[in-house]
Amino acid sequence: MRIVREPYGYAYAEISRLKETYGGPDGQVFVECMRIRPETGESRSVVLFSHPIGGGSFLPLVTALARAGRHVVYCNTRYRGNDTALILEKCVLDLGACVADLKARFGYDKVILGGWSGGGSLSLFYQEQAERPTLTHTPAGDPVDLVGANLQPADGVLLLAAHVSRSVTMTEWIDPSILDEDQPFVRDPELNIYAADCPHQPPYSDAFVARFRDAQVARNRRITARVRETLDALKATDPDLERPFVVYGTMCDVRWTDPAQDPSDRRPHTCYLGDPRIANDGPVGLGRFTTLRSWLSQWSYDDSRANGVRNGANVSCPALVVSNTADLACTPSHARRLFEALGSADKRYAEIQGADHYYIERPDLLPQATATVVDWLEARGF
């Protein structure tokens, strides 16, 4: 089936003294979108994909759904390609403006959120706040009125190769051998799993994994405490002052060095950025560059509100969870946690055996994933 791609954008007003994106007029947010649809034929429903930092309009499954006759829109938030100062509550506002625009501009009656990878927790965060709005401030205490935003609930949620959340993923990947953020290359040899002389080698004991995981949570909390202390000091001078900082060692997970941890079909000793030992301190590691406010909203284990398990419990619309069993980034335990947490009475879990995160290594499995999604949509009249 021939498809067409239609890039478009929309703008909406926002009052904020602090600007987190480069360029553009004050008081206005501009969001870029791509509509992908069959060349002929109308539809009253649309699958709306988004991700905190966007960039997925050419994902294989996005294109495949359009070729299968579905209308698809990919919405890039204002933070397209740069999560340094990203505020997840504002991603929800961007997504909400897109939902309203889809209905007004194209006349869609039904909107199904497509949560791919990090878009999964964003979709659940959005849907929770659309169904049960509660938030009027960010974790840093800045105004962001999700209660007054009149977010329109989606009619369904697709969680595709999704992880629990950015904050949980950060915590499960953060290097616990870093004990002092001012000396990030002085590391605890007992916890430095990438060091050749680390006394703990795979397969790891349950006791070591428990210690490692506890130390990861402890490091995340130390950074959060430091962020709050710094932010409080800055706000005493001016409420809008902000500071960027670097977080080293954010690609360190026992699952990558020990295949027995959260077992799946994934290849061992690698991650979605290649060699995890190199990515751990490389320039594109998870959350490498961030800001005080963004850390609290995105990466803080305790303070981030975008948590698929917590948000999903307050979601009532139909939901489909699809897990790719050879996924290097979103391992099976994340999909299971999301599925079990969902408050939806109508929810389904499916696995695509042998599929990687993007269906790049196994494109032959893309038709199976597409059929799984299309069958679920059609069964619900979407």
How much is the pLDDT for 173?
Answer: 98
- Candidates 15, 33, 24, 14; CA nearest to 101 is 33
User: Would you state the structure tokens that stand for residue 183, as one six-digit string?
Assistant: 């000396």
Is the predicted pLDDT of residue 182 greater than 80, yes or no? yes
Is the predicted pLDDT of residue 54 greater than 90, yes or no? yes
pLDDT-derived band at 59, boundaries 50, 70, 90 = very high
For residue range 300-355, list pLDDT tens digits in order.
999 999 999 999 999 999 999 999 999 998 999 999 999 999 999 999 999 999 99
Domain ranges for the chain: 3-165+304-379, 172-299
For residue range 110-167, list pLDDT tens digits in order.
999 999 999 999 999 999 999 999 999 999 999 999 999 999 999 999 999 999 999 9
Beta carbons of 341 and 312 less than 8 angstroms apart = yes
Task: Please state, rounded to an integer, the average pLDDT across all residues of the chain.
Answer: 96
What's the Cα-to-Cα distance from 286 to each of 178, 271, 276, rounded to whole Å?
A: 16, 12, 11
Q: Residues with Cβ < 8 Å from 17, sequence gap 6 or more?
A: 240
Q: What CATH class does 3-165+304-379 carry?
A: alpha beta
- Candidates 150, 199, 162; CA nearest to 177 is 199
Q: Give the Cα separation of 52 and 79 in Å (integer).
A: 7
Q: Average pLDDT, stretch 358-379?
A: 97
Q: pTM to 2 decimals?
A: 0.97
How much is the pLDDT for 65?
Answer: 98
